[in-house]
C-alpha cells in the first residue's frame, strides 16, 4: 500500500497553521533513564514544561466534547521526552567521537559509525521506542475520556495496550468518538485490516502491537524502521482527526504537540535506516539528527503566539526555542565545517571544529566513549532486557 506523508506545509495550511519508559506521569522532562548529562537536557526540560502547560491550558475545553485534548497532551509529555532520549544520547556520543578525532588532527566525521561508541545512545533509542507501547495507549485512553495521567496513576492499568485493544473490541465501546474521528480523517473503518480490533484505531494499534511483539514483530533494523515510520504516519493522521474535531483554539495548542511526535518518529525511522547501513558516516548520522532538531524547532514555532496564551506558557515557548537554537545553529555550522574538511584537518579548520564542539558539549565530558548506561556499568548488557526491540539493537551492537 502506497503511503503519502503529510508535509509540514500541508499541516500548517490545514490549521491556517494547523509535536518513552514505564508510566505516563506528569513532569518527567529531560533524560528519564540516565544520570549522564547530555546535549539536549535543557531542551527536553523546557519541552516538558511547555507540553504540560499546554495540557493545563486545554483542560478548560475538555468538558466541551467527547475528546479530551488537555488530558491527551498531558499524557504525551513523557511520550515525547522519552522518545527524544535516544537522539539526545546518540548526538552527544557522536559529538564526543568527532571531538576525539579533531583532537588527533583528523576529520572523524568522515569515518564510518562505530556501533560500540554509540552504545548508550542505542540503548536509550531502544528504551524510548519500546516506551511507546505503554505511553501512547495511555494518551489515547485519556483523549477518549477514559482517565488521566497524573503523578498518582495513569489509564489502562499495568498493560494499557491490551486494555485499549480489549476496550476497542467491545460493542458500544467508549472509544467510539475517537474511532469515528479517525474515520472522518480518512482512515478505513477497519483500520486497513492490519490490526487487532478491526476498527480505525488499528492504524495506531497495529504498529504498536508489532512493537510489543503481538504479531508481525520486526526482526531487524530495516523492519523496525518501517514499523516506526508507519506509527509516525498514523500519529500524523491523528493530528488531522484532531484538526477536524477541535475548536481552532484547541487545535493550535494540541496539534503542534502531535505533529512534533509524528515528525520525531519519522526522523527516528530515518535514523534507523542510517544505523542499518554499514557505510553510514558519523557526519551523515549527525545530519539526520540535525534534521530532527530543525523539525522540532519549526514545530514549536507553530504553537500560537501570545493571543490566548498565558504569559508563563509564552515565556516557556521562548525559552524552549532558545535552547533549541543554541544546539541547532552550531550543529549546522559543524556539519558545514566537516563537509569542507579532508581527512587531515588544517589549523583553521581544527580551531573552528573544536570551538563548535565545545559550544555544543559545554560542561559535558568530551572523551569519546565516556558515557555509560543508566546502571553505571554500560548499556550493552542491559539491551537484551528490552522486549522485541532489545535483541534487534543488541545484534547491531554485536552482543
CA distances from 317 to 85, 145, 324 (A): 20, 27, 11
Q: What is the DSSP string of 125-177?
A: HHHHHHHHHHHHHHHHHHHTTS---BTTB-TTTT-HHHHHHHHHTSTT-TTHH
Does residue 89 form part of some domain?
yes
* Residue in this structure with the C-alpha cell 495548542, named with its chain if needed: 253
**Is the Cβ–Cβ distance between 76 and 139 less than 8 Å?**
yes
Does residue 177 form part of some domain?
no
CA distances from 363 to 77, 343, 358, 360, 399 (A): 27, 27, 8, 9, 31
Residue-level pLDDT, tens digit, the chain, 399 residues: 334 343 333 333 333 322 332 334 444 444 444 557 899 999 999 999 999 999 998 888 898 889 999 999 999 999 999 999 999 999 999 999 999 999 889 999 999 999 999 999 999 999 999 999 999 999 999 999 999 998 888 899 999 999 999 999 999 999 999 999 999 999 999 998 888 999 999 999 999 999 999 888 999 999 999 999 999 999 999 999 999 998 887 888 889 999 999 999 999 999 999 999 989 999 999 999 999 999 999 988 887 654 556 777 888 888 999 999 999 999 999 999 999 988 888 888 899 999 999 999 986 754 334 444 333 334 555 898 899 999 999 999 987
**Is the Cβ–Cβ distance between 82 and 127 less than 8 Å?**
yes
SS3 112: strand
Alpha carbons 26 and 329: distance in angstroms, whole number? 30
Other Cβ atoms closer than 10 A to 362: 12
Q: What is the DSSP string of 1-64?
A: ----PPPHHHHHHHTT---------TT--S-SS--S--TTHHHHHHHHHHHHHHHHHHGGGGGG
Residue 215 is given by DSSP the state: S
Alpha carbons 71 and 55: distance in angstroms, whole number? 6
Alpha carbons 291 and 199: distance in angstroms, whole number? 34
- What is the 3-class SS of 196-214, one letter each residue? CCCCCCHHHHHHHHHHCCC
Alpha carbons 174 and 88: distance in angstroms, whole number? 37
Does residue 146 form part of some domain?
no
Full residue range of the structural domain in which residue 110 is found = 8-133+219-397
Cell of residue 149, nine digits: 495521567
344 DSSP β-pair partners: 106
Total of domains in the chain: 1
Does residue 194 form part of some domain?
no
* Close Cβ partners of 137 (under 8 Å, ≥ 6 residues apart): 156, 160, 161, 163, 164, 205, 208
CA dihedral 99, 102, 106, 107 (to 10 degrees): 60
For the whole model, what pTM was predicted? 0.87
Does residue 242 form part of some domain?
yes
150 DSSP β-pair partners: 153
Helix (H) or strand (E) segment spanning residue 331: helix 311-340
Does residue 214 form part of some domain?
no
Does residue 152 form part of some domain?
no
Does residue 158 form part of some domain?
no
Amino acid at each position: 500500500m502506497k503511503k503519502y506523508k503529510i508535509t509540514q506545509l500541508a499541516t500548517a495550511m490545514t490549521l491556517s497553521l494547523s509535536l518513552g519508559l514505564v508510566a505516563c506521569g506528569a513532569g518527567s522532562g529531560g533524560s528519564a533513564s540516565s544520570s549522564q548529562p547530555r546535549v539536549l537536557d535543557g531542551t527536553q526540560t523546557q519541552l516538558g514544561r511547555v507540553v504540560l502547560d499546554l495540557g493545563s491550558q486545554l483542560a478548560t475545553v475538555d468538558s466541551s466534547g467527547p475528546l479530551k485534548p488537555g488530558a491527551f497532551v498531558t499524557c504525551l509529555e513523557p511520550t515525547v521526552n522519552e522518545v527524544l532520549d535516544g537522539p539526545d544520547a546518540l548526538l552527544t556520543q557522536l559529538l564526543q567521537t568527532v571531538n576525539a578525532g579533531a583532537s588527533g588532527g583528523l576529520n572523524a566525521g568522515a569515518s564510518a559509525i562505530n556501533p560500540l561508541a554509540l552504545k548508550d545512545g542505542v540503548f536509550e533509542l531502544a528504551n524510548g521506542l519500546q516506551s511507546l507501547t505503554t505511553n501512547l495507549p495511555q494518551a489515547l485512553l485519556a483523549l477518549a475520556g477514559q482517565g488521566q495521567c497524573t503523578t498518582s496513576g495513569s489509564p489502562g492499568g499495568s498493560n494499557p495496550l491490551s486494555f485499549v485493544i480489549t476496550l476497542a473490541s467491545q460493542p458500544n465501546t467508549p472509544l467510539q468518538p475517537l474511532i469515528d474521528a479517525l474515520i472522518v480523517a480518512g482512515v478505513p473503518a477497519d483500520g486497513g485490516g492490519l490490526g487487532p480490533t478491526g476498527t480505525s484505531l488499528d492504524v495506531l494499534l497495529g504498529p504498536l502491537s508489532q512493537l510489543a511483539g503481538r504479531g508481525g514483530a520486526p526482526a531487524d533494523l530495516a523492519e523496525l524502521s518501517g514499523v516506526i515510520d508507519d506509527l509516525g504516519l498514523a500519529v500524523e493522521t491523528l493530528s488531522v482527526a484532531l484538526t477536524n474535531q477541535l475548536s481552532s483554539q484547541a487545535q493550535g495548542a494540541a496539534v503542534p504537540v502531535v505533529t512534533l511526535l509524528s515528525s520525531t518518529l519519522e526522523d527516528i525511522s530515518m535514523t534507523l535506516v542510517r544505523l542499518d547501513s554499514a557505510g553510514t558516516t558519523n557526519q551523515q548520522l549527525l545530519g539526520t539528527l540535525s534534521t530532527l532538531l530543525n523539525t522540532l524547532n519549526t514545530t514549536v514555532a507553530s504553537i500560537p503566539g501570545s493571543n490566548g496564551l498565558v504569559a508563563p506558557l509564552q515565556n516557556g515557548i521562548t525559552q524552549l526555542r532558545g535552547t533549541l537554537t543554541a544546539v541547532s545553529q552550531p550543529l549546522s555550522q559543524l556539519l558545514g565545517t566537516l563537509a569542507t574538511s579532508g581527512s587531515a584537518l588544517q589549523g583553521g579548520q581544527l580551531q573552528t571544529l573544536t570551538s563548535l564542539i565545545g559550544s555544543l558539549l559545554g560542561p559535558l565530558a568530551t572523551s569519546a566513549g565516556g558515557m555509560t548506561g543508566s546502571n553505571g556499568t554500560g548499556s550493552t548488557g542491559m539491551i537484551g532486557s528490552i522486549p522485541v526491540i532489545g535483541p534487534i539493537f543488541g545484534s547491531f551492537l554485536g552482543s
